[in-house]
């Protein structure tokens, strides 16, 4: 099952739409993130794994592939932790798939708590321009995200 979760990235000072496509398949257990991730994005595997377990959810024992699209654009930072977490839980049927009207950004702690990220305003503006209606951000970024207007 493939679950797509909308997210956003930052290229310089401009935000852009990103899709986190999460796929669970048979085979030896593995967790791969593709789509030109930097080291911080690749490390999301361990943050997400710990957060899932510490939130009391079941971590899927399967081959996990996460594609951050567009695959040709470099992805940097910890902003993709939350959409990967949401997609993984939805693909494993622990949560219903999120609405395509919603987008998610945020860093996860190992306990599953959300940490703030930088560049929320340009990402919120890009979300609004991409037709996103609901933007989920860490509490410490909420005030900055509201400056974009037009988003819940």
- Does the residue 120 lie in any domain? yes
Q: How far apart are CA 85 and CA 80, in angstroms?
A: 9
CA angle, corner 69, sides to 102 and 40, nearest 5?
A: 90
Residue found by looking up tokens 């990220």 in the block:
117
- pTM > 0.85: yes or no: yes
**What pLDDT score was predicted for residue 42?**
97
In a domain, 38, yes or no: yes
22: number of Cβ within 10 Å: 26
Domain assignment of residue 48, yes or no: yes
**Which residues sit opposite 104 in a β-bridge?**
136
Give how many domains the chain has, as a whole number: 1
Residue numbers of the domain that contains 99: 2-146
Let me know if residue 152 belongs to a domain.
no
pLDDT of residue 1: 82
List the pLDDT tens digit at each of the 152 positions of the chain.
899 999 999 999 999 999 999 999 999 999 999 999 999 999 999 999 999 999 999 999 999 999 999 999 999 999 999 999 999 999 999 999 999 999 999 999 999 999 999 999 999 999 999 999 999 999 999 999 999 999 99
Residue 110 belongs to domain with CATH number = 3.30.230.10
């Amino acid at each position: 099952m493939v679950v797509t979760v909308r997210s956003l990235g930052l290229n310089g000072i401009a935000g852009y739409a990103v899709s986190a496509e999460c796929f669970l398949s048979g085979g030896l257990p593995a967790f791969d993130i593709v789509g030109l991730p930097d080291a911080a994005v690749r490390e999301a595997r361990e943050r997400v794994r710990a957060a899932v377990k510490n939130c009391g959810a079941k971590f899927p024992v399967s081959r996990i592939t996460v594609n951050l699209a567009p695959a040709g654009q470099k992805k940097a930072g910890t902003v993709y932790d939350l959409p990967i977490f949401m997609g993984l839980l939805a693909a494993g049927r622990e949560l219903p798939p999120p609405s395509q009207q919603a987008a998610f950004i945020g860093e996860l702690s190992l306990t599953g708590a959300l940490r703030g990220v930088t560049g929320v305003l340009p990402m919120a503006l890009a979300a609004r321009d991409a037709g996103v209606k609901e933007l989920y951000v860490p509490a410490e970024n909420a005030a900055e995200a509201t400056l974009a207007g037009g988003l819940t």
